[in-house]
Chain A
């Protein structure tokens, strides 16, 4: 009797495990995805003042957003910054990854944490510090860097660097040195061995590193906040400045374009490199 009662209690709590877990999972994804879904939906609304339900649907706001110079300029600046930051972070990050992947040596931990530090120091603190630093440099040397494209480029290269270093080091560590040695033993020249053996194996990590670097730069808000100036403003900052005054379907269209670009970039990255491994 007692046994059957405990087992029935057990059965009811056991029965609640899966539904509770799945329910929590659904709630979590609703929280995460609802704002994105909402903004995409609103970008197609016909009425300029957002109200639910909409009076109808239109694509006009996309045309309106494309015609507004601040969004166009912000988009182009963010795109250029993303490319520059990705290139710089690859040029300085790949050599660093080659060293870090060699394995243990004294000071490795310190160097690694230094190179990943831009990811750990809060954006707002790092941005304020870089801004003050660049102004002091300007006062001392007369060269203006803050509030120019190149000031932003420094900040964005720093944002991108940890991603390239991390992902490329990870793919190099997974590499078996014997494969390249085998190619060399069988008579391949070093460059041929690299091109035919090493490169195909590390390519996923390099591509993922570059794409993550680009995305991290493209969406950055906090670090850029201090460094933007007249004529050089990034898209996320244009969006925030606009949102401080009003929210309408035009800004929703701009946000939707950003969502589309980043989603497409990540879906492509996932084919090369399982995204879950990047974190």
Chain B
């Protein structure tokens, strides 16, 4: 087997002329031309705008003119000085962390079952049932939750007619509605990240552990889950980042009083027209998300080794 691999490799490199200096130079110049359009698009459409945004965040706000004037930290001072904005940041963090935790608890069994289902049809169906909602867009799902959670929605109507409650419970336009809505949005990302990892681990390790006397729960928590740690981490990170930046769900089912960071960026940029402050909120959001992601990945690396 290994001999075969070596011969295969030998013929692969032996069959081609050795890359000489001119050949390599020609290759790298064509590479430059091939990469030019895509890199231009990303630089002009994303990197330069982000740089300008960083510049805007340290400009002085003047309602009368859109020009960027001055270098000042007043926008950051305002954000970190006003309890109003710090509360919004704290609320966003709290929502993102609780959504991530709940997604993990629900996503692990879902992904595990998908990866161990024997019927191919059922597996395909479950994967489609994960990926279709994942790519559905948030507006449509927010609409679904509005129908389910409203005072006259399906859940309240069902509870009322079952006699379990006497008047509708307020769910829509509360923090719990936002958490519920976000879980539905993020769970597919968690399931798909974990499913591929469980699939890759296979069931041989569990079986080995169980053969040696470990009960299924022990085998799962002591063998399978630690092996799946990289996938669990990337799934959690994805959920956390997406929850931090959620826009449609808090706006539509959180209502005007449940404010989070992403809608504030929009409000300041488009409704108040205070670009420096909008840029500041956007960059604080990105920086906090990034800092927590890096910190958690470092902490996990210490605990579990390279991820």
Contacts and interface: CB of A to CB of B under 8 A. Distances in A.
Contacts, number: 301
Contacts of A115: 38-39, 42
Interface stretch (A57-65, A89-97, A186-194, A199-207): A89-97
Q: Tell me the dominant secondary structure on chain A's binding face.
A: helix
Interface string A6-32: 000010011011101111110111011
Contacts of B109: 20-25, 28
Contacts of B105: 24
B41 A158 contact: yes
Given A23-B109, A31-B184, A276-B195, A38 B148 contact: yes
Given A32-B133, A275-B131, A99 B49 contact: no
Interface string B246-271: 01100110000000001001100110
B137 A132 contact: no
A39 B133 CA distance: 13
Interface in A69-102: 88, 91-93, 95-96, 98-99, 102
A263 B251 CA distance: 25
A21 B66 contact: no
A201 B195 CA distance: 26
A109 interface: no
A252 B147 contact: yes
Contacts of A39: 140, 143-144, 147
Interface residues of A, number: 99
Interface string B269-300: 11000010011001101100100000000000
Contacts of A136: 52, 68
Given A122-B285, A122-B289, A161 B41 contact: yes
Given A161-B41, A178-B12, A240-B248, A125 B183 contact: no
A252 B132 CA distance: 18
Chain B at the A interface: SS class: helix
A157 interface: yes
B131 to A, nearest CB: 5
Given A38-B147, A39-B147, A158 B262 contact: no
> What are the 3 tightest A-B residue pairs by CB atom distance, in nearest-first order?
A35-B144, A24-B109, A219-B137
Given A32-B184, A111-B39, 9 more contacts: A17-B215, A39-B140, A50-B152, A96-B39, A115-B39, A125-B245, A276-B195, A276-B199, A278-B131
Interface of B: 11-12, 15, 27-28, 31, 33-35, 37-42, 44-50, 52-53, 56, 66-68, 105-110, 112-114, 124, 126-133, 135-148, 150, 152-154, 157-158, 180-181, 183-184, 187-188, 191-193, 195-196, 199, 215-217, 220, 241, 244-245, 247-248, 251-252, 262, 265-266, 269-270, 275, 278-279, 282-283, 285-286, 289
